[in-house]
Structure 1
Amino acid sequence: MTVRNLARVTVVANMVVVVIGLIVLALLPSAGRPEARVKVKPAPALPGARLPPPVSATAESARKAQANEAGLIPVIMYHRLLPKRIASIDRTPAQVRSELERLAKDNYVPITAAEFVSGTINTPAGTHPVVLTFDDGNPSHFAVDAGGMPKNDTAVGLIYEVAAKHPNFRPVATFWINRNPFGLKDPAQQAQAVKWLLGHGFEVANHTSSHPDLHRLTTKQVKEQIVRQERLLKKLGVPASTTFALPYGSRPKKLTAAHDGEWDGTAYHFDGVFLAGAEPSVSPYAKSFSRYAIPRIQSNGKHGDCRRWCTTYWLDWLDKHPQERYTSDGDPTHVSVPKKLEGKIISSKAKEIIAY
């Protein structure tokens, strides 16, 4: 498959994710479920999320690294982590651990969705950025134990577990949350959890207040859903979101309402809007980058509908087509590409192109 053919599966895949998502929503536990009381202690010592020190790339060093910063970047979408899967988009901790281990061994380095959208991609030469995203703020994504450490088999716990084994595997991810983040209903506990994540380099951002299918709403209702969640995030200490994930990947009838709008005196703007499937994204430096319709890849195997657009398929495909994958030159101030791809890059005052 060529890059030119990648977009062909997006529409079908998003429709599948919408249907699956509606089923999952119906299966979620009721709002009356007792919540765990979590007291977040001061941050323990964990692998750091700092970016590597900058280097100065040259044509020679870019060629040696086989840099291609016009290439494809996997943005991976996760939902619930359960010991026994209920819906097809659920993953077990063992499955997520295995996938993260594969990414680390294949020289992928996590960045946040905000870093990706802004073009702040600073990974070592020869490595490949990957964006780990978790939807809905499920309790399986983040919780801490009595010692203030991320609980085993939560998303954050698994990320740190893999990072401890693989020093280049930067422990960051993006959590797009709704009105009860991580199953917590107490505002103080919500704020503590969010503060912990932000303090460790994770991104926490807007996924609407109640997770509706935005295509079914009026434009005013779409804006209300986004603003209500943005106000909650502000109360929890989150800076204004720069990224937004569409619930079910479903786009509102008025497409611009997904990234710019105002409701009840509060305005919002997102630099990037993410879909729910079904392929790697082009580089944010590429002329073809569509920042308000960024595809993601569902974490899953190769069964059924996932034969062509879930992570196992795409990670295999990128391994077999390394020339199509984003490979870093190690220098965040330059964009390095083979000469034949120079015309695919957006020229920018902040970036200098190295074509080798």
Structure 2
Amino acid sequence: IYDLGKTVRQLHAQGVRVIGRLVCFRDPIHAAAAWKAGRRNEVVQTPDEQPYAGYGGFTNFANPAVRRYNIDVAVAAARLGVDEILYDYLRRPDGPLDSMVFPGLRETPERAIVRFLAESRAALAGTKALVGASVFGVAATRPTEVAQDISAMAREVDYIAPMLYPSHWGPGEYDVADPNGSPYEIIRRSTVDFVREVGGTGARVVPWLQDFSLGRDYGPAEVRAQIKGARDAGADEFLLWDPAVTYTADALDPNAKRPALGITSAQPKDAPGPVRLPDPKPVPKPVATPVSNRRASRQPQPGLAPNELGQIPIVMHHMVRPDRVGEYDQTPAEFRAELDLLWRQGFVPVGVGDIVKGRLDVPKGMTPVGFTFDDSTTYQLALRPDGTVEPDTAVGIMLEFARTHPGFVPAGTFYVNREPFGGVEESAELLRWLVKNGFEVGNHTHDHLPLRDMSDAEVQRQLATGAEVIERAIPGYEIETMSLPLGAMPRRAELAVQGSWKGKRYGPYGVTLVGANPAPSPFSRSFELGAVPRIRTSHAGWDGERDFAFSYWMRELERNPSARYVSDGDPKVVSGRAGSEGELRPAFRARMRVVG
């Protein structure tokens, strides 16, 4: 037996990220030993009480000892430095359900698998290892086939890894006549379903792609086609599989130290890949309670002259979590530092609806800053049993900041999908709580899929049904803005602004983009309702790179204060500097006042 810890250290020294594939319940050795020792409840059985023979023996995922054994192996590997635990055979045997018995099962097989992942997540919480789950390619549309409920599983892991090998699909799947001969199309279409199912859970989709020949010869062109299909569907990471371990290097870009994925996980300089980063500044966890909407009174004044035709930064947030995983995520300490910087420099948070509608009631001398939170996860808002806000969520941190910074009023826009806040039972209550406490709710479509590849009808269905999720929870609520999933604009951009599906109308919306600069004033001719730019959050330790994220733009606005929007304190008037009259949108001419 090799020394795992030593091997991991050697691989790390070579810059290799170590993923530990842990085969769970297909375990003939464990099954045979348990049966021989009389621990028969640890083994999947036939209706006549014999061991299930498929795969040489399957252990019983409903049995606490079996679950504990697999979790202990995962924890031991993580403590030895393995970067990721990737569970495989995380399922029941395939075949008719009535041909197998799971002793002790008191729930559905799907729920039992999810329970195992929840127990695993709790046990691994003290390690830095990420957790993934390899699943059948059909699981997104057939969750009961091998007991893999994708959306429920995704809430307990960091990523879902569907095995989408083209050779494994039958003719006609996803309306593809020859899947093995159409690697791009079958991968793109099947990945779309997984991206939809995982959307809003906080997990990522990292598909397994085929780098072996089965029925057809596969080489660089076929592997590249699969990679492109996955990325076009919204999955910007992938794993390759070849049982012979002879991978096609010519299919990969040779110029990257790690995959150039565009929007994946952040990587410390000395680490071999994405890791969970601890909050560098732990803080006490006071009980967070709502604050009243009040005007700022003791915030530092920048001393700038009014300029309501200037630029407004709109900051795009995703998850605020101590174990920051994604590039767009922040740790609680980073979010607190962002709030502190904005407060000291005279920025006042507002919702995007206030910006696009020109409802900017901001104190004189201050600058509005739009706060947005995409995907509505439990890292953004969660309530304790007593109804108070969890203090380390984004909302909890803002409420805490308001108590220690007189005049700060929490505000922002939360963009939701079909299962707000991970589909928790109180999701509708959380949406109502946001609106009641001065926040805005926006449309992020129903399934969080890229709109650019959809038909016009499907784009409108996504937005109309996304609106229904909000309107069912908050009857009569007027949705004013939407956020493009993955930043992908539909081919007909106007359908993101407004449209209808089966008689259900939506919009007009202000449409927020992914990047990459401050937004024009809503009173400026440069403002476009269908293309409102946002800036990405920054991580601690920004080194001055021209990355067009938060830290870069805060420095640029500090260097060029005349470029920023500065309020005159009167929401009925639009103040602009002499010579700027031509920049004003005609609709606001009657409200124009020249200053300076």
Give the TM-score, by structure 1 length. Answer: 0.82
Q: 2:454 aligned to 189, 195, 217, which one? A: 217
Point out where structure 1 has 5 or more consecutive residues left out of the alignment. 1-25, 37-43, 54-63
Residues 305 and 313 (structure 1 numbering): CA distance in 2 closer, same or farther, change over 3 Å? closer
**What is the SS of the residue equivalent to 2:546?**
helix
The aligned counterpart of 1:342 is 581
The aligned counterpart of 1:233 is 470
What amino acid sits opposite 1:117 in the alignment? V
The structural deviation recorded for 1:286 is 0.3
The structural deviation recorded for 1:147 is 2.9
Identify which range, 310-319 or 138-147, moves more after superposition. 138-147
In the alignment, is residue 153 of structure 1 matched against residue 406 of structure 2?
no
Count of residues paired in the alignment: 312
**What is the SS of the residue equivalent to 1:262?**
strand
Residues 312 and 27 (structure 1 numbering): CA distance in 2 closer, same or farther, change over 3 Å? farther
Name the CA distance, whole Å, in 2 between partners of 1:252 and 1:197: 29
Name the CA distance, whole Å, in 1 between partners of 2:293 and 2:132: 35
What amino acid sits opposite 1:288 in the alignment? S
In the alignment, is residue 47 of structure 1 matched against residue 291 of structure 2?
yes
In the alignment, is residue 278 of structure 1 matched against residue 521 of structure 2?
no
Name the CA distance, whole Å, in 2 between partners of 1:138 and 1:27: 18
Q: 1:289 aligned to 527, 534, 538, which one? A: 527
Given that 2:296 and 2:407 are in contact with CA atoms closer than 8 Å, whether structure 1 keeps it comes out as: no
Aligned residue runs from structure 1 range 152-301, under 5 A: 152-186=391-425, 189-237=426-474, 239-301=477-539
Given that 1:333 and 1:350 are in contact with CA atoms closer than 8 Å, whether structure 2 keeps it comes out as: no
User: Whose RCO is larger (CA < 8 A, sep 6+)?
Assistant: 1
> Deviation per CA, 1:288-314, whole angstroms, max 9, x where unpaired?
111110100000148699633100000
The structural deviation recorded for 1:217 is 1.1
> Deviation per CA, 1:123-167, whole angstroms, max 9, x where unpaired?
111111000000001110000123322111101011112222223
Give the TM-score, by structure 2 length. Answer: 0.50
The aligned counterpart of 1:98 is 337
Residues 252 and 306 (structure 1 numbering): CA distance in 2 closer, same or farther, change over 3 Å? farther
Name the CA distance, whole Å, in 1 between partners of 2:329 and 2:342: 19
RMSD over aligned CA atoms reads 2.6
Name the CA distance, whole Å, in 1 between partners of 2:544 and 2:486: 16
Name the CA distance, whole Å, in 2 between partners of 1:109 and 1:52: 8
Name the CA distance, whole Å, in 2 between partners of 1:75 and 1:147: 33
Residues 156 and 45 (structure 1 numbering): CA distance in 2 closer, same or farther, change over 3 Å? closer
The aligned counterpart of 2:152 is 32
> Deviation per CA, 1:215-249, whole angstroms, max 9, x where unpaired?
01111111111111111111101513111110111
Name the CA distance, whole Å, in 2 between partners of 1:317 and 1:30: 43
The aligned counterpart of 1:138 is 377
Point out where structure 2 has 5 or more consecutive residues left out of the alignment. 1-130, 134-148, 157-287, 298-302
Residues 351 and 206 (structure 1 numbering): CA distance in 2 closer, same or farther, change over 3 Å? farther
Name the CA distance, whole Å, in 1 between partners of 2:486 and 2:544: 16
The structural deviation recorded for 1:342 is 2.3
The structural deviation recorded for 1:46 is 2.8
Given that 1:52 and 1:122 are in contact with CA atoms closer than 8 Å, whether structure 2 keeps it comes out as: no
Name the CA distance, whole Å, in 2 between partners of 1:282 and 1:154: 30
Name the CA distance, whole Å, in 1 between partners of 2:577 and 2:497: 33
Name the CA distance, whole Å, in 1 between partners of 2:469 and 2:295: 29
**What is the SS of the residue equivalent to 1:340?**
coil
The structural deviation recorded for 1:67 is 0.5
Name the CA distance, whole Å, in 2 between partners of 1:167 and 1:350: 35
The aligned counterpart of 1:120 is 359
> Deviation per CA, 1:9-67, whole angstroms, max 9, x where unpaired?
xxxxxxxxxxxxxxxxx98995214979xxxxxxx8532224579xxxxxxxxxx8500
What amino acid sits opposite 1:46 in the alignment? P
Residues 195 and 322 (structure 1 numbering): CA distance in 2 closer, same or farther, change over 3 Å? same
Name the CA distance, whole Å, in 2 between partners of 1:332 and 1:350: 14
Name the CA distance, whole Å, in 2 between partners of 1:47 and 1:156: 11
Residues 85 and 351 (structure 1 numbering): CA distance in 2 closer, same or farther, change over 3 Å? farther
- Percent identical among aligned pairs is 33
**What is the SS of the residue equivalent to 2:517?**
coil
**What is the SS of the residue equivalent to 1:32?**
helix
Given that 2:459 and 2:495 are in contact with CA atoms closer than 8 Å, whether structure 1 keeps it comes out as: yes
The structural deviation recorded for 1:89 is 1.4
Given that 1:49 and 1:172 are in contact with CA atoms closer than 8 Å, whether structure 2 keeps it comes out as: no
Name the CA distance, whole Å, in 2 between partners of 1:230 and 1:27: 31
Name the CA distance, whole Å, in 1 between partners of 2:447 and 2:544: 27
Residues 79 and 167 (structure 1 numbering): CA distance in 2 closer, same or farther, change over 3 Å? same
Name the CA distance, whole Å, in 2 between partners of 1:278 and 1:349: 27
Residues 49 and 35 (structure 1 numbering): CA distance in 2 closer, same or farther, change over 3 Å? farther
Q: 1:129 aligned to 341, 350, 368, which one? A: 368
The aligned counterpart of 1:332 is 571
**What is the SS of the residue equivalent to 2:523?**
coil
Name the CA distance, whole Å, in 2 between partners of 1:251 and 1:305: 30
The structural deviation recorded for 1:270 is 2.5
Residues 280 and 130 (structure 1 numbering): CA distance in 2 closer, same or farther, change over 3 Å? same
Name the CA distance, whole Å, in 2 between partners of 1:351 and 1:162: 38
The structural deviation recorded for 1:195 is 1.1
